[in-house]
Structure 1
Amino acid sequence: MKYRSVFDIIGPVMIGPSSSHTAGAARIGLVARQIFQKEPTWASFHLYGSFAKTYQGHGTDVALVGGVLGFDTFDRRITDSLTIAKDRNLVISFHEEEAHMDHPNTVKIRLGDKLDTMELVGISIGGGKVEIKELNGFSLRLSGNHPAILVVHDDRFGTIARVSTILAEKEINIGHMEVSRKDVGKEALMVIELDQNIGKDIMVEVESLEHINKVTKIHE
């Protein structure tokens, strides 16, 4: 399916087939790219439910790839994302999965390069809004529609309080926060949605805390 303009598939005014299958898909891809923090050399997209049945006709494929390339939902380059991915030597693959998922518009994105891999599960809930449900084995609930930081840390007493204290001292309000861990005392993940973007200085301060392993920012 050939689109004349990005506005045929995604906002600001939805002319194309579905905000869930296009704008939402692009948002999930973009969140995956922001978390990975660099350009991957390969990406695989595992599609479930309605995504699996209609991803080519509704432009879900170009939207997902565009997001992974770092294009926001309004970026006109999304319509040419498959060609751009090829030009950048990004190897992509799509897999239609038959497993039943809780939400019909579900995608599992796997990204990687020679050094790192990442796996993320996201759902498109309508109107371009999304939720990230899983990241590298951690269960979470991240909207992707607000600035947020992901803090990978060791599960130790007081770590969450110290991160919260830094944000409070900087007058950064927390809109939503949750913690997931693989086991008691093992690696854990803080997901903190914020009312505003934060600067690199705050990121560095959080990352310098004891038992903090990595801090990643996701911005709207």
Structure 2
Amino acid sequence: MSVSIFQVAGPVMIGPSSSHTAGAARLGRIAAKLADSFDFVSFGLHGSFADTGKGHGTDKALLAGVMGIREDDEALGQAFALAAEKHLDFEFHRTELAGIHENSVRIGFYREGRLLCEIDGSSLGGGTVLISRIDGYEVELTGNLPAFFIRQQDKCGVLSHITKVLAEHGINIATMKVSRKNRSEDATCVIEVDEGAAEELLNKMKAHPDIYDVKFIGV
């Protein structure tokens, strides 16, 4: 059995826990890239995050992450003070999430009292994370590769437009997952790629009349 040095040594991080601290910070940082400018964040802690997270600094780590602070940054421990400086309000509460890992959180991003997006994610250990739901849509977003998150109408031709634009810019698709709630209604598409994305590419994707929004999530 092959074992990577990452699995043995774990990530470079501010502790004490790779799952409850480093993973939580990384999860918050990736989730925040899916929200536009926000002034309030709600954290619903599930399972072990709710039971033992306080002692591991999970609350500080999640808050630091949504402010863009990396898991190896000493500023992580100052998350509450930094949020006050940025006038970012937040709250933590316990919640129960179905069919999800025990180290999980539901993060709601708000601006002026309006919900922008709601994200369910888990810290799987060793600093690895998985975002499994965005606004109720099933996704698989790890943050290991650059990715696009696309909201679209579930119509023929939309995906071909997306893949054509990527091909024109020489970007290779690593994985693609499409999720919809009902046929011919709204759908989402998560595409992990090998390269970054220029603003011109995003604008070309958005130009399709049945694509509502495109967000690029760098690593």
**Is the pair's TM-score, using the shorter chain for normalization, greater than 0.5?**
yes
From the superposition, tell whether residues 63 and 15 of structure 1 become closer, same or farther in structure 2 (CA, over 3 Å): closer
Q: How far apart, CA to CA, are the structure 2 residues paired with 1:194 and 1:122?
A: 20
The one-letter code matched in structure 2 to 1:81 is A
| Cα distance change on mapping 1:160 and 1:99 into 2, 3 Å | closer
Q: Secondary structure of the equivalent of 2:23?
A: helix
Structure 1 gaps of 5+ residues are 1-9
1:48–1:101 Cα contact (<8 Å) kept: no
Shift of the alpha carbon at 1:217? Answer: 0.8
Residues 142-190 of structure 1: CA distance to partner in whole angstroms, max 9, x if unpaired? 1122110111111110110110111112111111101011211111101
* Structure 1 residues 156 and 111: CA distance shift in structure 2, 3 A: same
Which residue of the other structure, out of 69, 72, 75, is the alignment partner of 1:71? 69
Q: TM-score, normalised by structure 2?
A: 0.89
1:89 pairs, out of 87, 90, 95, with 87
Deviation at 1:111, TM superposition (A): 1.0
Residue in 2 aligned with 1:7?
none
**Aligned-pair distance for 1:75?**
2.7
* AA matched with 2:142: S
Q: 1:202 to 1:65 in 2, by over 3 A?
A: same
Distance 1:96 1:33, change over 3 A: same
Counterparts in 2 of 1:138 and 1:100: CA distance versus 1, 3 Å: closer
Alpha-carbon offset, residue 139 of structure 1: 1.0
Return closer, same or farther for 1:99/1:174 CA change in 2, 3 Å cut-off.
closer
Residue 5 (structure 1) aligns with: none
Unmatched segments (≥5 aa) in structure 2 = 1-9
| TM-fit CA distance, 1:141 | 0.8
Distance in 2 separating the partners of 1:111 and 1:53: 23
Distance 1:24 1:161, change over 3 A: same
Give distance in 2, aligned partners of 1:98 and 1:206: 36
| Residue number in structure 2 paired with 1:139 | 138
Aligned CA RMSD, in angstroms, stands at 1.7
1:85-164 map, 5 Å: 85-98=83-96, 101-114=99-112, 115-164=114-163
1:122 and 1:133 in contact (8 A); partners too:
yes
Contact 2:14–2:72 (CA under 8 A) maintained in structure 1: no
* Structure 1 pair 99–157 and aligned structure 2 pair: CA distance change class (3 A): closer
Aligned-residue identity in percent: 38
SS at match of 1:55: helix
Structure 1 position 49 matched with structure 2 position 47: yes
SS in 2 for 1:201: helix
Q: Secondary structure at the match of 2:177?
A: strand
State how far apart, in whole Å, the 1-side matches of 2:124 and 2:172 are. 25
Which residue does the alignment assign to 2:173? 174
Query: Which 10-residue stretch deviates more, 29-38 or 186-195?
Result: 29-38
The CA distance in 2 between the partners of 1:81 and 1:162, in whole Å, is 41
The one-letter code of the counterpart of 1:134 is R
